[in-house]
Structure 1
Amino acid sequence: MTRVLLTGGSGFIAAHVLESLLAHSHSVVATVRSVQKGQQILESYKQYGKDKLDFVIVEDISKPRAFDSAVVSDPPLEAAVHCASPYHFNAKTPEEIHQLITTAVDGTTGILKAIKSHAPTVKRVIILYSHAAMVDYAYSSAPFAYLASKTFAEKAAWDFVKSEKPSFTLTTLNPPMVYGPVIHSLSSLGSINTSNARFVGLLKGSPSTPCPPTVNYLFIDVRDLALAHVLALEKPEPENQRFLLTAGNYSSAEIPQVIGEEYPEFKDRMPVGEALKPGERPATGVNGYDNRRSIEVLGMKYRPLRESVVGVVESIKRLL
């Protein structure tokens, strides 16, 4: 059993990481932004005592020394998994873009500094970034402000390891679009995570509602991504490596097709004809990928898109 700090514990991806860590018999301290969110986590896993699951409050990851008290634990922490980072495409003004990037970078450097100074027993750090940090984009629209935040934050992490030479190793995980079931507390579909939000539009839409554009033609199931965090923690080989995690190519147009086949009650709401075209793969083709390192080193096995789509719909249809 390893004592693990998990940041952003109430988020879409981190909730699955938490579940996977507990399933693999690790002890977890999750950071959350409020007592209410922490209590919701404990209520969801009330079969575990405080020796297996607890939470600490970190209201703002970008504040100086935000993680200093969070990394102090009894028993001491042995590893940290950093998932807390802003994920949205709403930054449009220079001030908003600066804030988005600064929060991501400061959150990364903040937790690394805190571990180095206050948690000498931590030997492994796993940080969630994005496939975006592996691609050279040359755009300035709102989505690319988010991509820049991931790129600069990951660079800051590797720069820290190089310059500070901490006693812990670093592994970074870089997924593309993440789909799959929502298991964290969700009071309404208005607060659903960004990637799964397209499912809400489809399930509430009509045949003439345009299919959302794909943007990124690679995907991964959130359950596979969560397991990758655990494998990166448990295996020695991933130390000081970065991993592209993806099940492969897809397009948004495939999602309504799967929904229509698996859920006849929603078939009449799926886009067809011209409405489907925005989500189709371009005639010029899509980007390739190489996920061999994740398969060979981590031992990853990836779920197909159909399983991810079904997972999303099953988890949210009660809220429609």
Structure 2
Amino acid sequence: MKVLLTGGSGFLAVHCLDALLKHGHDVVVTVRSDEKGQYLQELFKGKPFSYVIVKDIGAEGAFDEAVKTDPPLGAVLHTASPFHFKITDNKKDLLDPAINGTTGILKAVHRLAKSVRSVVITSSFAAISNYSNPPKVYTEEIWNDQTMDEALNTTNPQAAYRASKKFAEKAAWVFMESQKPSFTLTTLCPPMIYGPVLHQVKSLDDLNVSSARILRLYQGIQRSGPAGSLMHVDVRDLALAHVLAIDNPRALNQRFLMVAQLASEKELRDIMEKNFPEIRGHLKDEATDALPPFGIDNSKSVNVLGINYRPLEETIVDAVKSLKALGA
């Protein structure tokens, strides 16, 4: 099957490309520049994929040309969305790109790629997280309770990011209900995504947010602020879930919470010190062993998608090994 993969040069997307190719798919990838596309061509030399440039995913008609392929597309994996906290304007920097990018790909497929039967969108646990009134156990049924007014006016960049993921996913489901396209929709909601780095990283300063967190903990760099999310999923498991969702009839028009487990900051650091003894005693902060007062129910992803989540130690060790290869 021919599959379009958006955001193709990102941390998750490169693993999605790897999984798609291993499952025998022919892939078209969207990237922001020729340089990123050529990096992927070198990484997956000889494999059946090509790339197209989409410089601004939030622009009107951004994906119009990307969805026109020969042979025609059968599925779309949409992973492209901003994930950063360098924000000066919540609407312009986060909300608009996330919402317009998501609805933009759906509009393009609906108008120009009638052959597409399934679309899979990478949402986020951020679209589920309910910080003002957390449940005892998180499931796919729960939504972030932020309002648009709160999203536009918050001075907390993490809150603005969480809102962008909620409203982007909500917009996708509204589109499905109002337009009734010929394709189905599946959304996947991961928390922090850890694991080995495959995408192009010119400098450790350019790491994606979740890999940078692993790097700081490995290097013992003092943290500013709270420990952050204590939920994780391995990037390889999440990438496989995207591919499995394409053809699984039980996954169509469904939402999945993609969380392997809860793990404290101390647990992550202990795994690192066990496997990389050279860093013992070099932690410049106290790693907290606190866990959140709620649980997670990932049974739907296990039972419907068939995901067998990797153990935490494998995820963290492989992540650190890849960072060391980059010069950590």
Scaled by the length of structure 1, what TM-score is found? 0.92
Q: Is 1:239 aligned with 2:252?
A: yes
Summarize deviations over 1:51-70 as a string: whole Å, max 9, x none: x2000010000000000000
Question: Which amino acid in 2 is paired with 1:101?
Answer: L
Q: Which amino acid aligns with 1:246?
A: V
SS at match of 1:183: coil
Distance 2:184 2:110 in 1: 11
The answer for the alignment partner of 2:67 in structure 1 is: 71
**Cα shift at 1:239:** 0.3
Shift of residue 104, structure 1, vs aligned partner = 0.1
Instruction: Determine the structure 1 residue equivalent to 2:34.
Output: 35
Kindly state the Cα deviation for residue 196 of structure 1 after the two structures are TM-superposed. Answer: 1.1
Tell me the TM-score normalised to structure 2 length: 0.89
1:315 aligns with: 322
Q: Is the 8 A contact 1:87 1:146 kept in 2?
A: yes
- 2: CA distance, partners of 1:23 / 1:169: 23
Moved more, 255-264 or 138-147: 138-147
Q: For the aligned residues, what is the CA RMSD?
A: 1.6
Give SS of 2:249's match.
coil
Match of 1:291 among 293, 298, 302: 298
Residue type at the aligned position of 2:234:
D
Instruction: State the partner residue of 1:26.
Output: 25
Tell me, yes or no, if the aligned pair for 1:217 and 1:286 is still in contact at 8 Å. Answer: no
Q: How does 1:1-320 map to 2 (within 5 A)?
A: 2-48=1-47, 52-91=48-87, 93=88, 95-138=89-132, 140=154, 141-205=156-220, 209-210=222-223, 213-271=226-284, 275-277=285-287, 279-281=288-290, 285-318=292-325, 319-320=327-328
Distance of aligned partners of 1:182 and 1:212 in 2 relative to their CA distance in 1, 3 Å threshold: farther
SS of 1:195 mapped into structure 2:
helix
Listed one character per residue, the Cα deviations across residues 181-235 of structure 1 (whole Å, up to 9, x for unaligned) are: 00111111011110110222233336xx348733222110101000100110121
Q: What are the Cα deviations for residues 251-304 of structure 1, in whole angstroms up to 9, with x where unaligned?
A: 122111111100112223235xxx224x3215xx43211111111100111012
Number of residue pairs matched?
A: 306
User: Aligned partners of 1:155, 1:236: CA distance in 2, in Å?
Assistant: 22
Whole-angstrom CA distance in 1 between matches of 2:177 and 2:82: 25
Could you tell me the percent identity over the aligned residues?
48
Rounded to whole Å, the distance in 2 between the matches of 1:98 and 1:315 is: 34
Assess, with a 3 A threshold, how the Cα gap between structure 1 residues 132 and 210 changes in structure 2: closer, same or farther: closer
| Secondary structure, aligned partner of 2:67 | coil
* Per-residue deviation, 1:166: 0.3
Q: CA deviation at 1:134?
A: 1.4
Contact 2:231/2:259 (<8 A) preserved: yes
Deviations 1:148-175 (A, max 9, x none): 0000000000000000000000000001
Q: Provide, for residues 111-164 of structure 1, a one-character-per-residue CA deviation record: whole Å limited to 9, x for no partner.
A: 000000010000100000101111234484210100000000000000000000
Q: Hey, what's the Cα distance between the residues in 1 that align with 2:85 and 2:50?
A: 31
Contact kept? 2:90, 2:160, Cα under 8 Å: no
